Every structure is written in C-alpha cells, then in structure tokens.
Amino acid sequence: MALYLIARIADEMIALPATEIGSVVEVDQIAAVPRVARHIAGLFALRSRVLTVIDTRASLELGTIDRAGEKTAIVVECESHSYALLVDEVEDVIEAGEPEPCPALLAASWRRAAKGTIRHGENAILLVDPAALVAGPEPLAA
C-alpha cells in the first residue's frame, strides 16, 4: 500500500504519489515571465524559494486555469528544481495498492502524463507523473 494525493484537473480526478509531493500551497501572486511555453504560468515566491508555476490544464492541452485570485498548487521537485502545479482542487490523501495499467481509451494528452490507475473503492483514479506535467505538451512536428 502507498499514499497518494488526490486532486482534480479539469473535472478529472487524478492521483500523485505522496512521496513526490513537497506540500500543498495557496498561490496568489504569480509573476509573469516573457517568452516561456504556454503551460508555464510564471514564478511564485514561497518561503525564500522561487517556484516555477505550471498550469496543469495548459500542460495537458485542456485550456487554462483561471489565474485570478488564490489558486491551489502542489509543490513537487523535478530534476532538482521546484515547481508549483496549479490544480483545480486538492481533495484528499488516500492509501491504495499497486497501480494498474491505464485504460485503452485515454485521450492523448492524458496518455502522455499517465502512469496507470489506482483503485479507491469502486473508483479508478488516474495516476499522473508530475514530471510529465512540468514538461508540458509535446512540441508540434515541424
């Protein structure tokens, strides 16, 4: 059994391994950064650290999260850098067994970020790789 943080992105319930989560924070002022990829919302200062803020909806090509007012973010470390993943909502921390394979009919944007599914009661919850959200959408072929 392992612990997972349950959140929502664009009405989809997702799970992130608790071992990959630094904290959950409220982000209020995001400093814009010119000429960055669309899924990078900007920078945010948290306890003397600067975090790159990732719009998870934009990363998954599902539109954008409304950036006005306070937003919930999940802090993760990827390749020695700190990131704040904007999500629509954080719901819970649960304990679940080993991940199962992803469903065959998964949209391409989700398929890129999915590591499998976990079971919680009757629900199958998509297990997402935080590094894939940080990386953003695949570039268009030239």
CATH of domain 2-135: 2.40.50.180
Q: Tell me: the pLDDT tens digits for 116-131?
A: 999 998 889 999 999 9
- pLDDT score of 67: 75
Ordered DSSP codes for 10-52: TTEEEEEEGGGEEEEEEE--PBP-TT--TTEEEEEEETTEEEE
Q: Checking DSSP bridges between strand 123-128 and strand 12-17, what pairing results, if any?
A: parallel
Domain ranges of the chain: 2-135
- pLDDT score of 139: 67
